[in-house]
Amino acid sequence: MSLIHPRIPLGITLRRILSGASFVGCADIRVQHATHNSLDCSSQAMFAALRGREFDGHHFIRDAIQHGATSVLVEYPQSDVPVPQCVVRNTRQAFARICSALNGDPSRELSIVGVTGTNGKTTTTWLVRSILQTAGIQTGLLGTIEYNDGIRAEPSTLTTPDSMMLTEWLSSMVSHGTTHAAIEMSSHALDQCRCAGTLIDAAVMTNITHDHLDYHLDYDAYRASKLHIFESLKPGGVAVLNADDPGSISCLAHAPGQVITFGIHNSADVSATILQQSSRGTTFVLTAGVERIEVRTSMIGEHNVSNCLAAAAAMLHAGIALPDIAAGIEALTDVPGRLERIDCGQPFNIFVDYAHTDDALQRAIAAAKTLTAGRLFCVFGAGGDRDRSKRPLLGCAGASADVAVVTSDNPRSESPTQIIDEIVAGMPIAAQPHIEADRAEAIRWALSQAGPQDTVLVAGKGHESEQIIGSQRLHFDDREVIGRIVTAGLKGPHDIPATNLIGPHKNIGQIA
């Protein structure tokens, strides 16, 4: 979707919603439709010239006018342009506000929890939705796995939709009677001002660790992008920060108003004491002030207890009672691809997890180890054309498994073997990883080696159903691959899509 069709039939005037804007060729501009795609302009449409890393929309202004644009949104005045111009400091920020205004500013009619952080965004938003739905409240969700307006759902394309799609989904929520929403706000989205037109009631910061440095260049810039979430807080909104995470709690000074902290190890407003962990779930005591309640969740791992606390803190601010929060946590049986248990009758544990940062991988391995009396096999890789600096860090984290199986993730245009070499470079010599570039074969090898009391953790892709090799998108779902291999008897023939576009890689380690 690239053209906003407004809930406000007569459109909006830009001078009213864009403070500080100047105008060329007019005193004001009335907008009925807006787009950032020069090919999608039509009569009465405004073209927004958005600046990106690879393309600058200002270079497509004349093309947009030829396709019907009757006004343009720009960052500097354009010469020889025969249509009115609105000049702003940041076209991305202004466009997000225009998109929201054209749809009647739907976020003002919703109670929204925005969640950012390196890890835990998806699980936290799913927990928020489960708590609200269990309390009888119709709730929407926008995130890595799906977009859901409370009635209909679609697979997501980005963790956070662009500002046009975001406002369309929020508008759809309002139209369908949805009153609450949980939204993942990625660092890319915050940096690109996709959420600038969206107001939220709670800003949750799960953690800030190492990721996306190919985009943000360094940790400080990455952290700074996360801080933009506070700009979306409504008056009276709350910042929810992780007392156990240095990156999250360091944002305390930047929070504009009320703050609620959560944590397991450090003093916090909302805390937990873990009582028991097993392959079937975790039991912990949830404490908020003088209130305490025992919670049994099917999720495993200390990091998931932390996610439960983040959701609980946001929901306490929303006025949900602690017993209802506990019931909502318990009602969420699993989140696709987040330490998702695969049970095909095999005599050992199998989990699939989305962990693709060193911190997330370390936490997933730690969680799996608490359930493993035997050996822990971890199958993982790293994405191509993405942050190369985290590859040796992933290797170091993966080496904490008893048997590390290094393979391909989404190599994209890079050499799979080169990516693997960069992962292995971060491993201690004693790790002796098993290396298999073909992901299906790597999974099959790990499953064939596992025995009773062992655990196989397949990490990196989680809920994803494709593998990107070169320019091809091949159907590949770790969960399906595991199911077919186990059903076929591990070592027998199996109906697995070939990924032999990836060449062989010599193993440097063998299982003891």
Domains along the sequence of the chain with CATH? 12-102 (3.40.1390.10), 106-331 (3.40.1190.10), 340-487 (3.90.190.20)
CA distance 139 to 39: 35
120 annotated as ligand-binding: yes
Kindly state the tokens that stand for 392: 């040796």
121 annotated as ligand-binding: yes
Please name the residue that has the structure tokens 């908020």: 288
Q: What is the pLDDT of residue 211?
A: 66
187 annotated as ligand-binding: no
Q: How confident is the model at residue 2 (pLDDT cuts 50, 70, 90)?
A: very low
The predicted model scores a pTM of 0.93
Q: What is the pLDDT of residue 43?
A: 77
Residues in the chain: 512
Q: What is the pLDDT of residue 167?
A: 97
333 annotated as ligand-binding: no
Longest Cα–Cα distance of the chain, Å, equals 77
CA distance 277 to 255: 34
Res. 498: pLDDT tops 70: no
Res. 1: pLDDT tops 60: no
Q: What is the pLDDT of residue 210?
A: 66
449 annotated as ligand-binding: no
CA distance 47 to 365: 48
160 annotated as ligand-binding: yes
119 annotated as ligand-binding: yes
125 annotated as ligand-binding: no
Give how far the C-alpha of residue 429 lies from the chain's centroid of Cα atoms, to the nearest Å.
Answer: 33
Q: How confident is the model at residue 497 (pLDDT cuts 50, 70, 90)?
A: very low
Number of helical (H) and strand (E) elements in the chain, helices listed first:
16, 26
Kindly state the DSSP code that residue 412 receives in the 8-state scheme: B
Pairing of strands 30-31, 12-13: antiparallel
328 annotated as ligand-binding: no
194 annotated as ligand-binding: yes
Q: How confident is the model at residue 42 (pLDDT cuts 50, 70, 90)?
A: confident
Strand, coil or helix: 423: helix
Res. 502: pLDDT tops 80: no
Contact 237, 203 (CB under 8 A): yes
The arithmetic mean of pLDDT across residues 101-124, rounded, is: 97
Q: Tell me: the pLDDT tens digits for 441-452?
A: 999 999 999 999
Res. 327: pLDDT tops 50: yes
Q: Tell me: the pLDDT tens digits for 139-198?
A: 999 999 999 999 999 999 999 999 999 999 999 999 999 999 999 999 999 999 999 999
Q: Tell me: the pLDDT tens digits for 246-295?
A: 999 999 999 999 999 999 999 999 999 999 999 889 999 999 999 999 99
Instruction: Tell me which H or E stretch contains 215.
Output: helix 213-216
Q: Tell me: the pLDDT tens digits for 51-76?
A: 988 899 999 999 999 999 999 999 99
123 annotated as ligand-binding: yes
Q: What is the pLDDT of residue 80?
A: 92
Res. 308: pLDDT tops 50: yes
507 annotated as ligand-binding: no
466 annotated as ligand-binding: no
Task: Report percent pLDDT > 90 for the chain.
Answer: 88
464 annotated as ligand-binding: yes
Q: What is the pLDDT of residue 6?
A: 54
Res. 511: pLDDT tops 70: no
Whole-number Cα distances in Å, 23 to 4, 72, 73, 88, 408: 22, 10, 10, 9, 52
Res. 3: pLDDT tops 60: no
Res. 501: pLDDT tops 50: no
192 annotated as ligand-binding: yes
Task: Report percent pLDDT > 70 for the chain.
Answer: 92
Q: What is the pLDDT of residue 216?
A: 65
409 annotated as ligand-binding: yes
Res. 9: pLDDT tops 70: no
In the chain, the N- to C-terminal Cα span, in Å, equals: 54
Res. 425: pLDDT tops 80: yes
Count other Cβ atoms within 10 Å, centred on residue 412: 17
Average pLDDT, the chain: 93
CA distance 108 to 111: 8
122 annotated as ligand-binding: yes
**What residue ranges in 249-359 does DSSP mark as E strands?**
258-263, 270-278, 281-288, 291-297, 340-341, 349-353
The arithmetic mean of pLDDT across residues 454-461, rounded, is: 98
Per-position DSSP letters for 472-508, written without gaps between them:
EEEE--HHHHHHHHHHTTSSS-------TTSPP----
The arithmetic mean of pLDDT across residues 333-344, rounded, is: 96
Res. 458: pLDDT tops 60: yes
Q: What is the pLDDT of residue 313?
A: 99
